[in-house]
Structure 1
């Protein structure tokens, strides 16, 4: 009885959750034992996908190469950074750009981005530079959405092509089996007709065999009589 009342609320919750995807928002992260203002955006993809696409997008768009915070920056670490890089759309100064990717759900990952213009001079959410940073992250969210849908379309096209190929294969197999079955049925009919002809001819041969047996007996008797006559002539 309560389901009809709960359904609109569930649909609204799902719609709001979907609307939050790919939308940049102001938040914070804990970095160097302090809370830093950060821009976050959720992406409907795995953490690995989001991390890789974020790195490629930054390289292609701003020629910024992120590195992990591990030894010599090698490998995929929790935090990615680019030290003292130019990003004129954010600041006239060189900036330190930081980011990390987490997975709050199985099918959703979250990118967090924050920046500093110097040692312990992190961009505050109230600054114009932070607003510019948020615009950049929003641009990434839009690009990620487009890329995700393109990949889904590519996957769907491949699946459709594979299904179509399987359909054609099955239809070809079905047509081949039908043709083979028809050929076998035709052969069966031919064999049935041949068996019928063989049976009829066998019956005819049986009658002829009886006639032949009587004729053979007659010929044998005639031969014996001729032999007997010849024997009598030789005795005279």
Structure 2
């Protein structure tokens, strides 16, 4: 029996990486799926791979206006929404002296402000009950050099799983979080690490993971499926850490 049969779902940042894999698993579980992306190449690739099964929309996660437009599109397509996986995000790592106000604001806009106002825009669209899953990060918990801004955005986003739960539960909306450790995705590829140092950086990261490898998008997606499904009906304001034991080494 499929766990998401007939559920109307939205996945932001669903044209690559964890979002793309989650969309595939949602489909396998019987869900109807809308995904968003902002990169023209990944959007076209997603359209090609998903075909007519999935609605693929362009949306800038940093734009509050775009979040309202997205909510309107979801309402027009579904009427109501059962599941939202807020996955879109950027990961910029650099020393504190390299940060500019513009870059700082961009990271918070994509990782915190946009998703927050998407939830606001979706309030009239959410079914009762509904499930919202936030994709945060173990960097909300660990202190890693050069991750100051990224870690701060993820800590803020993780906190929303609790504060929004307290506010939205009376409306029938459950909010939970999944926090991946290092996962082999295009997001990781965009960290800006020079190729000459990439192999060593990979080794250093893996050395801090007890399971001795990077995670896969599929492993994170399985946790999202659980939080999206009715199996987690008694799970509210919680966090599932999927990190191969990374946080054991804090």
TM-score by length of 1: 0.23
TM-score by length of 2: 0.22
Higher relative contact order (CA 8 A, sep 6+): 2
State which structure, 1 or 2, has the greater radius of gyration over its C-alpha atoms.
Answer: 1
